Amino acid sequence: MKNRKPHIVLFVVALAIVGILVGLSAQTGRTQSQTSIRPQSPTSENKPVVKSTVRITSTASSVYAAAAERNAVLENELSWTFGGKKQQGWYLYELLIQRTLNTQDETGSVEFANALATWQKKMGLSQDGVLDENTLMTMIGQWQNTRLKDRTPAQGDQLVMSPSSEFYDPERLPDLRQIERETYAAYKRMLAAALADPTLKLAQTADGALAPTENKVSARFLSSCPARPGST
């Protein structure tokens, strides 16, 4: 029995050493495995390529910058003829032009010129982004072709005379102030709705009519009212 005791102790110690070595081996294996699958930090060689649009935006700005400056002038200064009468500028049609181009950008901005160039391409015009007389007349032609389907001339009893105070030009000829009755009634309803909208802050007279100082609003509405179906 005395001789067996040292053998037992040595056997237990050997088992303990083997257990320790196995544990260390397993831990080392896990560490190496984690190290091998750890994602590498991006370097100059494996960083994802991100395409920048700064160059494109800058190029578009440089191309249409001159067009934007030109539009800012032509909006009030363009000389053109319609219906045998000289016109100046296209500011009265600003909202209608923006709607045609599907943009809300300012008419003197690069973005507006860019939108105009896209529309010019669609219409087969020079894509310079400038709203000159040729482009304006093409727009007017499009408006006339799409806004009314009934082109039967209105008879005398279908016309009403709009007062000159509703136009920019106080000397506007009577023939140019004749508005189709139903169209004029629709205009009046739109004007009443505008006056009732407090967010627009339109000046009114004591009887609730549009103040003379707001004649630009009136003229904008009235500019879309035809004297006869199919005309401007």
pLDDT band at 218 (very low <50, low <70, confident <90, very high): low
Average pLDDT in the 68-88 region?
Answer: 93
**Short-list 45, 47, 72, CA closest to 130:** 72
- Cα 13 to Cα 10, 19, 69, distances in angstroms: 5, 10, 93
Average pLDDT in the 130-157 region?
Answer: 86
pLDDT band at 48 (very low <50, low <70, confident <90, very high): very low
pLDDT, greater one: 30 or 140: 140
Please say if the pLDDT value at position 132 is more than 60: yes
Residue 8 has which token pair? 């037992």
DSSP state of 32: H
**Where is average pLDDT lowest: 21-30, 47-56, 69-78, 181-190?**
47-56
> What integer pLDDT is reported at residue 80 of this predicted model?
94
> What integer pLDDT is reported at residue 144 of this predicted model?
85
pLDDT band at 140 (very low <50, low <70, confident <90, very high): very high
Cα gap 165→173, rounded to integer Å: 12
Average pLDDT in the 160-172 region?
Answer: 80
> What integer pLDDT is reported at residue 123 of this predicted model?
95
Q: pLDDT above 90 covers what percent of the chain?
A: 32
- The model's pLDDT over 95-110, given as tens digits with 9 standing for 90+, comes to 999 999 999 999 999 9
Cα gap 130→114, rounded to integer Å: 9
Contacting residues for 180 by C-beta, under 8 A, at least 6 apart: 154, 158, 159, 160, 225, 226, 227, 228, 229
Average pLDDT in the 49-64 region?
Answer: 51
Please say if the pLDDT value at position 143 is more than 80: yes
Contacting residues for 156 by C-beta, under 8 A, at least 6 apart: none
197 burial via Cβ count (<10 Å: 0-12, 13-18, 19+)? exposed
Contacting residues for 134 by C-beta, under 8 A, at least 6 apart: 125
pTM summary value: 0.48
> What integer pLDDT is reported at residue 6 of this predicted model?
54
